[in-house]
Amino acid sequence: MTRLIVTGTDTGIGKTVFAAALTAALDAHYWKPVQSGLEETTDSETVRRIGGVPAKRILPEAYRLKLPASPHLAAEQDGVEIDPERLALPPHDPLVLEGAGGLMVPLTRRLLTIDQFARWGLPVVLCARTRLGTINHSLLSIEVLKARGIPVKGIAFIGEEMADSQSVIAAFSGTKILGRLPILPELTPERLARAFADAFDLRDFQ
């Protein structure tokens, strides 16, 4: 069984691009349980467009919230509260599940994203950008995942080469470096698939 959570050390680091590539490579289903912000392209639509993932393999969101903000606030603006019972895992396998924002983003005033990850009990792929600050953000993220008893499949870097930072994170965390997805000048399913295949070993995700 291959069922993975894709999360990130921060928001806006490219984890949806990585999730699209991973979903396509695994011939998996994609699920974004909570989508905040509907005015622009949703993450599900992005995965379909740049990953070439068929619509039938993209599962509907449990919550579609209008405001591009933390899910707890976006839900309040829409007059709802996110119910963990509606976030029950779908039965599909393989499955790539993408979290909203980073690990400590609130889903409600009482529930953090990482708490929901612990309930699901699936292994996590942590996406980290290759920019200044990535050592701190990555090590903190791995620490809190370990503290919650959440298995970490490994780290997927996104961006330009930062060999020293990557090796430091691996040494201090003991976490496997899965690979690095470069920034692509044009995102198409073909180019994304090629870049993913060049940078990652699919066996590491299975």
76-109 pLDDT, tens per residue? 999 999 999 999 999 999 999 999 989 999 999 9
Q: What is the pLDDT of residue 101?
A: 86
pLDDT at 14 over 90: yes
In whole angstroms, what is the distance from residue 186 CA to residue 195 CA? 12
48-71 pLDDT, tens per residue? 999 999 999 999 999 999 999 999
Give me the active site residues, please.
32
pLDDT at 40 over 90: no
In whole angstroms, what is the distance from residue 7 CA to residue 9 CA? 7
pLDDT at 74 over 90: yes
134-181 pLDDT, tens per residue? 999 999 999 999 999 999 999 999 999 999 999 999 999 999 999 999
Instruction: Name the CATH superfamily, with its identifier, for domain 3-205.
Output: P-loop containing nucleotide triphosphate hydrolases (3.40.50.300)
Mean of the pLDDT values across residues 173-202?
96
**Domain ranges (residues) in the chain:** 3-205
Residue whose token pair is 């996104």? 158
Mean of the pLDDT values across residues 123-134?
94
In whole angstroms, what is the distance from residue 107 CA to residue 11 CA? 15
Question: What is this structure's pTM?
Answer: 0.96
pLDDT at 12 over 90: no
In whole angstroms, what is the distance from residue 32 CA to residue 100 CA? 8
Q: What is the pLDDT of residue 180?
A: 97
